[in-house]
Structure 1
Amino acid sequence: MKLEVERLTTVIEEKNIIEDITMHVETGQFVGIIGPNGSGKSTLLKTIYRILRPKAGLVSLNEREINSLSHREFAKKIAVVSQEGSVPFDFTVEEIVIMGRSPHKRFFERDTFEDNKIVHSALVKVGLENYKYRSFSTLSGGEKQRVLIARALVQETTFLILDEPTNHLDIHHQLQILDIVKSLKVSVLAALHDLNLAAAYCDVLFVVDNGRIVASGSPEEVITKTMLKEIFQVECTVTAHPDTGKVQILYVSDGMFTSNGSKIC
């Protein structure tokens, strides 16, 4: 499943939050979006998965403009895990996850043995098979995130959009979830906060700053000491992981910030 974004601009309250963005996700690629807080990553993803309407530009999926797809067609092709993990009513974990089967069912069609089998498999993958009857509202932030990832998995789409998918997760579950996503062999577009995870899992990275793409390429091409200094304002050493050979960032603290976060002049 190939995604093409052409010259996309989204305006919120008369301000261009993203502007003139062009990017492609080829079939089977794991593509990451990185950038500072407030750079426009989430707005870009929300525009792609149709929560926000662009002022200009085009988004197409396998050469079909996404706004021409019905909600059902869209949900069969793209599964989304957003940052907003709230649910308006209280459901059990199993009920939340099985909602991901809705695009594959007719109106009022009952859940089948196959649906339940798919749900169980997804819960096993995220390590929550014993939580199926737990109330969603009683879960920790990390557990809720894993439930929502399971819900996306049961949609069985060929494209995943993930907005900070490792948010609230400890390092074990961060690696577990990204391993699962990578193993699916589907097209993935993910906004990632942890740059070392982005370097380890992504085939291609796009760097967003002030609503524009300022760099793109492989992690080795994009993640440089100069870029991290200019865009993220951090000092670091960029090296290769001794086991995997992937780009690894070693951050340097020079004591330039006070306890309240202000910079020492």
Structure 2
Amino acid sequence: MNLTVEQLTTTIEQKKIIEDISIHVYSGQFVGVIGPNGSGKSTLLKTIYRIFRPHGGLLSLDERDIFKLSYKEFSKSMAVVSQEGSVPFDFTVSEIVLMGRSPYKRLLERDTAEDVALVRSSLVKVGLEQFTDRGFSTLSGGEKQRVFIARALVQEAPFLILDEPTNHLDIHHQLHMLDIVRNLNVSVLAALHDLNLAAAYCDALYVVKDGKVVRYGSPEEVITKSMLKEVFQVDCTVTHHPKTGKPQILFISDGMF
């Protein structure tokens, strides 16, 4: 599934948070959005998944206006894992993951054996199969995030948005989660805080600063010493992974030497 964002502008409390942003995610691509805190990454993604209404521009999935899709059409097309997921009541883990099947249900329709099998498979993928009947409130932050990833998996949408999804995960589960996503054969747009993970997993990167795209290209084209100094105000050395050839960043702190 293809995503097209053209000249997108979102204003919050009379302030332009993102302005004239254009991005494209082609079918099967894993595209990353990187940038410093407050640059507009999350606002961009929240506009795409309809939390915010844009004040200008075009958003389309396979040439269909995102804001003209019904809730069910949209949810069947796009799944979201956000950085601030929460649930209002203490559901069990399996109940929360089953919520990912709601776009496929009529009112009061019961869960099927296929739904239950999908939940079980997704929990196995994220390493939480033993937590099926645990209350959500008893989980750690990282475990809760893995539940939301499992819920997105059972939604079976061809487009996936990840809004800094690795925030609460240790390095093992960060890599495991991104490996799962990478092998889903879906289109992915992800805001990633860890630049080395972004370089390792993404096919293309957009760099956002002050609400605008300032760089775009492959990780090899985007992750450079000059970009990191200009956008993130850090000194570093950029090397390349001996097996994959992907950029790797070695940061240099003013207090290190």
Q: Per the shorter chain, which TM-score range?
A: over 0.9
Aligned pairs (5 A) from 1:123-202: 123-202=123-202
How far apart are 1:254 and its partner, in Å? Answer: 2.1
Q: 1:185 Cα shift?
A: 1.2
How large is the RMSD of aligned CA atoms in angstroms?
0.8
Deviates more, 1:190-199 or 1:234-243: 234-243
| SS of structure 2 residue aligned to 1:236 | strand
Q: Which residue of 2 aligns with 1:84?
A: 84
What code does the residue aligned with 1:41 have?
Answer: K
Paired residue type of 2:181: V
CA distance in 2, matches of 1:244, 1:55: 41
Q: Distance in 1 between matches of 2:250 and 2:67?
A: 42
- The aligned counterpart of 1:210 is 210
How far, CA to CA, are the matches of 1:244 and 1:24 in structure 2?
A: 25
1:243 aligned partner: 243
After superposition, the C-alpha distances for 1:145-202 in whole angstroms (9 at most, x for unaligned) are: 0000000000001000010111110000000000000000100000000000000000
AA in 2 matched with 1:65 = D
d(CA) in 1 for partners of 2:39, 2:253: 23
Gaps of 5+ in 2: none
Match of 1:60 in 2: 60
1:101 corresponds in structure 2 to 101
More off after superposition, 13-22 vs 82-91 = 82-91
Q: Could you tell me how far apart the structure 2 residues matched to 1:129 and 1:16 are?
A: 44
> Counterpart in 2 of 1:112?
112
Correspondence for 1:36 = 36
Secondary structure in 2 aligned to 1:51? coil
Distance, in Å, in 1 between the alignment partners of 2:41 and 2:176 is 23
Scaled by the length of structure 2, the TM-score of the pair is 0.99
Q: Deviations over 1:84-139 (max 9, x none)?
A: 12111110000000000011111111001100000000000000000011010110
- How far 1:242 sits from its partner (Å)? 1.4
- Counterpart CA distance in 1 for 2:188 and 2:243 is 25
User: How many matched pairs?
Assistant: 256
Q: Which amino acid aligns with 2:238?
A: V
Question: Which region of structure 1 is more displaced relative to structure 2, 135-144 or 239-248?
Answer: 239-248
Shift of 1:243: 2.2
**Given residue 172 of structure 2, which amino acid in structure 1 is its aligned partner?**
H
Q: Which residue of 2 aligns with 1:259?
A: none
Counterpart secondary structure, 2:193: coil
The whole-number CA distance in structure 2 between the counterparts of 1:31 and 1:114 is: 31
| Large movers: runs of 4+ above 6 Å | none
Which amino acid in the other structure matches residue 27 of structure 1? S
Residue identity matched to 1:36: P
Q: Shift in Å at residue 18 of structure 1?
A: 0.2
Give the gaps of 5 or more residues in structure 1. 257-265
- CA displacement 1:183-240 (0-9 Å, x = unmatched): 0010000000000000000000000000000000000000000000011011100110
Letter in 2 for 1:147: V
